[in-house]
Structure 1
Amino acid sequence: MDYTKLFRHIPEAMVVLSPEYKILDATDAYLKITRRSASQIIGKHFLLEAFPNKELSYEENPVRASLDKALQSKKVDYLEVIRYDLPKPEAEGGEYDVRFWEASHTPVLDEEGNVAYLIQHTSDVTERELAKMALTESEEKFRFMAEAMPQLIFTTNAAGELNYLNKRWERYTDVPLEELRQENWQKVIHPDDLPAVMAKWEEAFRNGVGMQVELRMRDKDGLFRWHLCRTQPMEDEEGNIIMWVGSSTDIHDTRMMVQELLATNEQMSLLSDQVQQAYEKAESERKMLETLILQAPAMFCILKGPEHRFELINEKYHQIYPTRELLHKPLAEAVPEIVEQGFIELLDGVYNTGKPYIAEEVPIMLDKNNNGNLEETYFTFSYHPIFESDKVSGILAFGYEVTEQVKFREKVQELGKS
């Protein structure tokens, strides 16, 4: 039996080293994922000649440390994820392709118990690591916005279990976040209000709809203050609820002012409604303007009315169309190239139904330079209805560009097919 031929055809990425770390042989699968030929690496020192690290010295190389450990202990050593970029072919522009790897180093002992060979089994985990990085970045952006908001923000998982509270909760209640997460959040709600709040939440959760309720919450000074609490489910593309997002706004001063006005003159009831509505509108717009829009590291804009007229645009959004005047213009007039791409219909659906729309990695043809040349750009975005007096008055659009990630994944897929 030709064991050399058999080894090279093993469908795993493996390379055999001498105790001096010279490359003795490698499987075809290993040569393929490392973009090397047998003649390029066999007989060469694994770390100094075949795969030198351009960022770290030989002594600092974690691969060397793992090999040393396996050689000395005579036991398998597992290398944590490392980054080692591969040179691109000249046909693809040269330079380097970012890659992430996992590996194990297995010593092979001779009859006397000495290490005769070391086998490295490696795996390309680039796609997994890039996905983890993208998820981490997305979570960090959400946390940045949630921590910057002047409201008490919370989220639950799809089962309704509390899994996040922004730090403002701790500053407001003087209760550590971990204690609040462990069901102690109920202790800061006035006991007379808790049954009604729980009933409304259970109904909203059961029906998969948003909730709005006024309740009294204890602050750090032990005083119960009135809050307006809202929750809204977030759905995936199939309409399945993946999480719930909620906010609690201190409306105590406004509520007390309204009550004083009513006590002074019964005819002020109409005014109290107007004051309450004005407060809610101002609070909602201030929150969006100061946090989600003006300070956000992603693209935000507010579209008002059935024509989807630009009312507010942050700098990130304006960078897409640096030469255009967008403010106060209908979307179809300001960005005509998107009309035939179906985005007006999507916005109409959100405006008419009051249901948010979320999309990931959608290609959009944009005339960024306003010269008639369309560029394919990928975005992950969402449209959320803005309510005034229980009616949709506009849409909050949020998004960020993911063109590089999509193009990179497509290249990886093409390489996998080759």
Structure 2
Amino acid sequence: MEPASGDTRILDTVSAIDFEELLASSPNPYVLFDRDYAIVWMNEAYLTVTMRDREEIIGRNLFEAFPSEGESFRKLNGSLRRVIETGKSDEIAHIRYDIANPYGTYDTHYWSATHTPLCNPDGSVACILQHTVNITELEELRRLRDTAGVVERARSVEKRYQSAADELVRVKNLIEQAPGFVAVLTGPEHRFLLANAAYRSLLGNRELVGRTVSEAIPEIVEQGFVDTLDKVMNTGRPYFGNRELVALTQPDTGARQEFHLEFIFQPISEPSGDVTGVFVQGYDVTEEVEAQDRQKLLINELNHRVKNTLAIVQSLAQQSFGKLGERAGLDIFLARLAALASAHNLLTDCNWKMADLETIVQQSLAATAGSDTTRYSVEGPIVTLHPQEAVALAMIIHELATNALKYGALSNDKGRVAIDWELHEADGSPRLILDWRESGGPPVEQPDQPGFGSRLISRGFGNRDDRVSLEYNRDGLHCHLEASP
């Protein structure tokens, strides 16, 4: 088939093109190597980008004309070797290849290269045509972009760091102003990392941070507190100091002063579980302890005077009743004085604040009915009473127990007494319900007229809303008390 006339003109035009001149005039760099990497030809664009003269590099080995090592050598040599072995083109998308400049130094360049084989008629590779593109400017732009990203990330990190630093300052200020004393000890030698104003004030404003406990507060070593810190570090368990007496030396005078301290040594643990320090936090309760000691002293003095007064009353009663021969009435009166004194003793033990109901009942029964607890049972929740109510209940239980000994369940060998109580809510306020039940004693009969004991019982705690009922059942006396505790 003959080519058309148009195709013939195109073929004639192509055959007339001088391709060597075309490549030589191309603005793109081209260079030709033989199989031994000797440079056999290059265009002007190649000489321009490599800053070399033709006579300087023609005929020289590529790696002699443009020395290279490391990653750059491996990439370029590997690409050329693949072209020779496969007879196919190969590309290097990105390679750093530094070029010597006229000043005797090297400029950093980044290239993208295409290696195309020129083959013999038998198919073997005769030469390799290298087309290179200098991408240094693109690489610099990419680096600028990455640098901008790094800068932005650095700014973000700096912002977070500043925020964390500000938060740390706020926390340190809060600890510094805390009303209780706070310190942080680090390491096995218990070195001060932090101590707030209250802690420094307690120790006479000594220099603490950076020093060990033994160096800063030597007087507490002999008191065993460094040993306690060692134990907290070794065991990882906190230590609670409850109003412990600590003697501290005042730096300005050298005098020893005793303090009562409420504190905790809390181990500081890392995620690994290792204990690296101790957090110390507590309060100076010296004034509170001294005030309670003074109050206890006053209460004991008051109780002593009350007992003296009761003893005088007892002496007067013995003299008065003894002369009249009223021994039975005297015994009753003295027993009531003893019950009153017992209630005072219980309240003194409680610093005249609140007394436990069960303890009041047990002591009143023991003083009257003796130590045989098989004769009575006591059951109910924990209830505390104010001093007035505590004294009133002690007198009520005393009267009921005395009556049971004389006429009721405790007057024989079989009778028993059951005392139980509970708390109920009434109109938003608690109400105490207490029952005294006797059983197994002789038949009970209601007296013709109430005596002093019955009248005392019927008063309850002395409050207007107290209600007391006495039921003289044949099988045993039942006393029911409702009062506000």
TM-score normalised to structure 1 length: 0.34
More helix by share: 2
Q: Which has the higher contact order (CA 8 A, sep 6+)?
A: 1
TM-score normalised to structure 2 length: 0.30
Q: Rg larger in 1 or in 2?
A: 2
